[in-house]
Structure 1
Amino acid sequence: MTDFSIRPERAAEAVARHIETLILEGSLAPDEGLLPERDLAARLNVSRPTLRDGLRILQDRGLLTGEKGRGLRVAALGRAAITDPLIALLADHPEVEDDYLDFRDVVESHAAGLAALRATELDRDRIAAALDAIEAAHAAANPADEAEADAALHQAIYEASHNLVLLQIMRALSGNLRSNVARNRGRMFTLHRIRDHLRDQHRAIGLAILSGDPDAARSAAHAHLAYVRKAARDIAESQAHDETARRRQSGGGLGQRR
């Protein structure tokens, strides 16, 4: 546990600044509840009136929200941008998925390289645990668990990059814009040959980071996203062909087929 002690002068601002830092670095996540007031004051070594003043500063800045009887929570930061009509429009068009995966290729390849250089022991433990979870879900042939472990690995890599802008942007994009990709990745994990490739690719990324090899990590991440992009295209093309065949069979629902 971090030993955090605040000097009396400008103590409320120091409380606010400390909690702001925890939010920015991702230690406190959007929608996460804070400890009860008594515990928070003890943890920060300040009086409860000082704590309340500091928390009020953060509420005024829109970083904390509270409901009667539920205590304070970190605001749903980044969600407002994701509910923008433009983002919703993009999310409704499947063709944007390829552009999104292209974006992820650029960002995640760089993140993997940074993680190989910057990961702490705790970061490496999280990445190793995510790799173990992927292996376990793969062995159990559980597509849902495998997809969840996949997402956990990528999240661990963002955090291990120690690039706060990258981390917050990728967290914010975990909503509507990623929904089509998530659906396709769910379908990918039901196909045995693709599941094997994804497992091997995740292992290659993780092991490169754990060995501290940024070039190998970037290369493995790029190969993975290029594969996912191609697999998503192939799935979309196959579905389009199936839909066309069904329409021909039924006259598009408008003809009188005998």
Structure 2
Amino acid sequence: MPSEVNKGAPAAETTARHIEDLILEGSLRPGDPLLPEREMALRLNVSRPTLRQGIRMLEERGLIVADPGGGRRVAPLATSITDPLIELMASRGEVVDDYLELRGTLEGMAASLAATRASDVDRATLTRCMERIDLAHDEADFRDEAEADVDLHVAVYEASHNVVLLQIMRALSGMLRKGVFHNREKLYARPEVRDVLRAQHRAIYDAIMVRDPEAAARAAQDHMTYTKRVRAEIIAAEARLEISLRRIEGGSLTARN
């Protein structure tokens, strides 16, 4: 059924506001291409000049950007946080721990809300994500499993139906995909870790599906606590290996044969 804007206010501003609402609630996602102008005007039941004016307002607000080919798309909003301060924080191990600690709290909140608020559509999306995790796990495709992992978490944020939480967590998941704070592939390269992560994702999913907010929150927080601990173990093991290699090479400062 076509969307239709409210005709009680100036048409172009109302059109812009309607599209803003779609972006805010997550129906229009960062980077999504918009329909051609004619089709979009029909969907919104407005004239093409009104639509153009509304789109221009959104471009001025930085919410819509033009494509080189002439189309338009949602701007890359809240997919990551690009700032010198973020790079500085990501370079400090103790800050990464703070990042994971924050995610533990927010993930628990999101899972709890999703268990209470998820619609049938949300639950179907969560099921597809869990099925992708299972398939990638069974095929030992750790890169696909890592991507499905992030997609499951995003689906939980969407199912929380809290738009502020959704946008914050989308930003964090964008940084996670790019490896800003830690490299997920190092986790998924270890079969024994992948087994635990799959079980933890299953626990989050199952709790949401049976609408148990306390179990969902607990499973999400346990998952982040485990991720934080394993990351620390991997870093420690890498540091020990580096020391061992330096000993063999004499710190690269000796004339050993």
Instruction: Give the alignment's TM-score, normalised by structure 1.
Output: 0.93
Aligned to 2:109: 110
Aligned to 2:16: 16
CA contact (8 A) 1:91 1:179 kept: no
Give, as a single letter, the amino acid of the residue that structure 2 aligns with 1:155: V
CA contact (8 A) 1:88 1:176 kept: no
CA contact (8 A) 1:6 1:44 kept: no
**CA RMSD after TM alignment:** 1.8
Over 3 Å counting, the alpha-carbon distance change for 1:25 and 1:249 in structure 2 is same
Offset, 1:254? 2.1
Offset, 1:75? 1.5
Give, as a single letter, the amino acid of the residue that structure 2 aligns with 1:195: R
Structure 2: which 5+ runs fail to align?
none
Counterpart Cα distance in 2 of 1:196 and 1:43? 46
Offset, 1:257? 2.3
Counterpart Cα distance in 1 of 2:77 and 2:32? 11
Task: Give CA deviations for 1:177-233 in whole Å, capped at 9, x if unaligned.
Answer: 7615552x2122222211111111110100100110000001111111111111111
- The worse-fitting range, judged by mean Cα deviation, of 67-76 and 10-19 is 67-76
Counterpart Cα distance in 2 of 1:144 and 1:26? 26
CA contact (8 A) 1:5 1:45 kept: yes
1:61-72 map, 5 Å:
61-67=61-67, 69-72=69-72
Aligned to 2:170: 171
Counterpart Cα distance in 1 of 2:174 and 2:245? 32
Offset, 1:69? 3.0
Give, as a single letter, the amino acid of the residue that structure 2 aligns with 1:230: R
Aligned to 1:233: 232
Aligned to 1:144: 143
1:140-219 map, 5 Å:
140-176=139-175, 179-183=179-183, 185-219=184-218
Q: Secondary structure at the match of 2:173?
A: coil
Counterpart Cα distance in 2 of 1:9 and 1:32? 27
Counterpart Cα distance in 2 of 1:182 and 1:126? 26
Offset, 1:167? 1.1
Question: Among the aligned pairs, what percent are the same residue?
Answer: 51
Give, as a single letter, the amino acid of the residue that structure 2 aligns with 1:14: T
CA contact (8 A) 1:82 1:88 kept: no
Counterpart Cα distance in 2 of 1:76 and 1:137? 28
Aligned to 2:255: 256
Offset, 1:83? 1.9
Q: Secondary structure at the match of 1:168?
A: helix
Alignment length (residue pairs): 256
Over 3 Å counting, the alpha-carbon distance change for 1:242 and 1:95 in structure 2 is farther
Counterpart Cα distance in 2 of 1:237 and 1:151? 25
Over 3 Å counting, the alpha-carbon distance change for 1:157 and 1:175 in structure 2 is closer
Q: Secondary structure at the match of 2:73?
A: strand
Q: Is 1:44 equivalent to 2:81 in the alignment? A: no
Counterpart Cα distance in 1 of 2:173 and 2:142? 19
